């Protein structure tokens, strides 16, 4: 997922099709000059539909497609012929896409499964032909319905990545390095802060051909909830993660304090994030010996599953995978 191609927020104009008008036709034939009403119904206007596609990871394909206009339905005809429906517009979106009303912010729908189709903007209903309005007292109704208008609205599409485990930590905590070691993902890695500017996803191979999805979220800093650093723009992506893996470098001045800062920033963004399962990985563990590791462990929270890892030295990487897998499949 190239960083400059990762788009997780787009605003689009959706115009569904107008419904076709019903017909006011009367049957006419030789010897039957005053036949009854036989006007057919108008066709429905085209819907604008979202469809989930597990092969997509970004909303990039919609960035420059600002206006989506569906076809109107056709009018009804004689002999009770119903007008053709307007063609629907089907938009492929990645799993985890949420649609919101651009004016109110109200959630309209959410796509979470491959092949799932939901109507984003419904087309106008076709009008009824005059055949529907005949009765014993009105055998020659001239009334028929016009089609309902389509809907013209601005919609925000917002992507929240679906992953089993989300990596949470300060810049240069080793999140991208871990993802590159355990998966085929190739995030940018460098020795300066904010190397990762967009989320990255990787499929992590596990024992017996099993796997799980890991998301590397750009590093947050103290004050991110107030807009410092990269702010909280990408924190929405960990709202869908089953587990949060906190990663703190072993060379931190105070690991326990950094952990509390990270928790505080998540709580300010969304208190519900603290209800997720949490694991702690102390990174760059190849820089210390067993004695120092034992001393550091004594300062860490006792109720938090913790492992010391080194992505470069491949230290305890399999143990970390085991810990993640057990947390993913532990019974509540």
Binding residues: 169-176, 194-198, 216-219, 283-286, 310-312
CB 215 within 8 A of CB 200: yes
β-pairing, 9-15 vs 152-159, is antiparallel
Q: Which residue has the tokens 């890892």?
A: 309
CA dist., res. 150 & res. 135, Å (int): 30
Residue ranges of the binding site for Mg(2+): 176, 196
CB 151 within 8 A of CB 45: no
**CB burial class (10 A; 0-12, 13-18, 19+) of residue 184?**
exposed
CA dist., res. 13 & res. 27, Å (int): 42
Helices (H), the chain: 175-182, 255-269, 290-297, 317-329
Residue ranges of the binding site for GTP: 169-176, 194-198, 216-219, 283-286, 310-312
Bridge partners for 205 per DSSP: 211
Specify the 3-state DSSP secondary structure of 308: strand
């Amino acid at each position: 997922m190239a960083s400059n191609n990762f788009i997780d927020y787009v605003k689009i104009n959706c115009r569904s099709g107008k419904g076709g008008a019903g017909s006011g036709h009367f049957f006419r034939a030789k010897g039957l000059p005053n036949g009854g009403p036989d006007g057919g119904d108008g066709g429905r206007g085209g819907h604008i539909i979202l469809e989930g596609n597990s092969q997509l990871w970004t909303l990039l394909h919609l960035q420059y497609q600002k206006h989506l206009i569906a076809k109107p339905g056709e009018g009804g005809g004689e002999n009770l012929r119903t007008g053709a429906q307007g063609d629907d517009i089907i938009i492929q979106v990645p799993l985890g896409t949420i649609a919101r009303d651009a004016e109110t912010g109200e959630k309209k729908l959410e796509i979470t499964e491959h092949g799932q189709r939901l109507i984003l903007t419904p087309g106008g209903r076709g009008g009824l032909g005059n055949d529907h309005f005949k009765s014993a007292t009105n055998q020659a109704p001239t009334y028929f319905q016009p089609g309902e208008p389509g809907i013209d609205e601005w919609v925000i599409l917002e992507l929240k990545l679906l992953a089993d485990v989300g990596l949470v930590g300060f810049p240069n905590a080793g999140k991208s390095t871990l993802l590159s070691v355990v998966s085929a993902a190739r995030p940018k890695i460098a020795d300066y802060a904010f190397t990762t500017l967009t989320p990255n996803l990787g499929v992590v191979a596990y024992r017996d051909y099993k796997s799980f999805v890991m998301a590397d979220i750009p590093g947050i800093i103290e004050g991110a909830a107030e807009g410092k650093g990269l702010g909280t723009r990408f924190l929405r992506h960990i709202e869908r993660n089953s587990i949060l893996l906190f990663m703190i470098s072993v060379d931190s001045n105070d690991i326990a304090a950094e952990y509390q800062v990270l928790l505080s920033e998540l709580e300010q963004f969304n208190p519900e994030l603290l209800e997720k399962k949490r694991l702690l990985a102390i990174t760059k563990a190849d820089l210390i010996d067993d004695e120092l590791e034992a001393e550091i462990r004594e300062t860490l929270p006792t109720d938090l599953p913790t492992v010391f890892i080194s992505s470069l030295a491949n230290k305890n990487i399999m143990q970390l995978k085991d810990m993640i897998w057990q947390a993913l499949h532990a019974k509540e």
